[in-house]
Amino acid sequence: MSSLAIISLKPIRVWLTPPGPNAWKVVVVLKELGVPYEIKAFKFDDVKKKPFIDINPNGRVPGTYILPVRGYDLNKTLTYDGVKEKHHLNQWLQFQMSGQGPYYGAAGWFNILHHEKLPSAIERYNNQLKRVLGVLDGWLEGKQWLVGDKMTYADLAFLPWNDRIDGIILCAPEEKFDGLPNVQAWHERMAARPSWKKSMDRYPGWSHEGAGVGGRDGKARAL
């Protein structure tokens, strides 16, 4: 079955806990590509329970049944065909998953959620967050995008976590990219895109209290 036929069958269901950043990278890529989807929002307390663990036994969001992005990107809007470019896309995506996500998450945990303040842990993970940003800022010197001359799914993968930095390390929003002009400009280019604005408009505050899709009733809504 062709990817066009798959896309036309029904919207892709994306299971997510709205306050968490990880799932939104899937949402914004689907939005950029015009692939129909629906959000099934639920509480973080339920990620280790059925029916979600039938979708992802590890109990982590997002949960969805989806092809690799190139299966939907028929016009190569967010991908490349070249071997070198595909390797670099995978390289940056792996850095996002192994570097940005875990370190930002740990920084958020020790800054906000841990039952006691551990200055050494807070310092370590805040510094690791800044190190990841430094790697990105250095690479983006003289460039607009991570790979080639266009925005790709690798760029968008970093967007949701970077959007939340001020809430993670408890700084003023205007200070979160201090000393990182390349990252700031890169982030602002993506955050200004209609795909991101529409995703966030439908879920203001990334919380169940928002007036967007999938509120406390937990119903899926097509987008």
pLDDT of residue 8: 52
Q: Is residue 12 within 8 Å of 66, Cβ to Cβ?
A: yes
Question: CATH code at 30?
Answer: 3.40.30.10
Which domain covers residue 164, as residue numbers? Answer: 83-192
Same domain? 60 vs 98: no
Same domain? 136 vs 182: yes
Question: CATH code at 159?
Answer: 1.20.1050.10
Question: What residues contact 66, with CB distance under 8 A and at least 6 apart?
Answer: 12, 26
Q: Give the pLDDT mean for 20-25.
A: 90
Phi and psi at residue 188, to the nearest 5°: -65, -35
Same domain? 188 vs 205: no
pLDDT of residue 199: 85
Same domain? 146 vs 127: yes
Of residues 66 and 40, the one with the higher pLDDT is 40
Phi and psi at residue 210, to the nearest 5°: -65, 160
pLDDT grade, residue 65 (50/70/90)?
confident
pLDDT grade, residue 42 (50/70/90)?
confident
pLDDT of residue 203: 60
Same domain? 12 vs 45: yes
C-alpha 167/C-alpha 160 separation (Å) is 12
CA distances from 154 to 28, 85, 96, 151 (A): 12, 11, 8, 8
Same domain? 121 vs 174: yes
Same domain? 124 vs 36: no
The conformation of residue 63, written as its DSSP 8-state character, comes to: B
Same domain? 87 vs 175: yes
Same domain? 49 vs 128: no
Same domain? 41 vs 62: yes
Q: Give the pLDDT mean for 40-69.
A: 85
Same domain? 66 vs 112: no
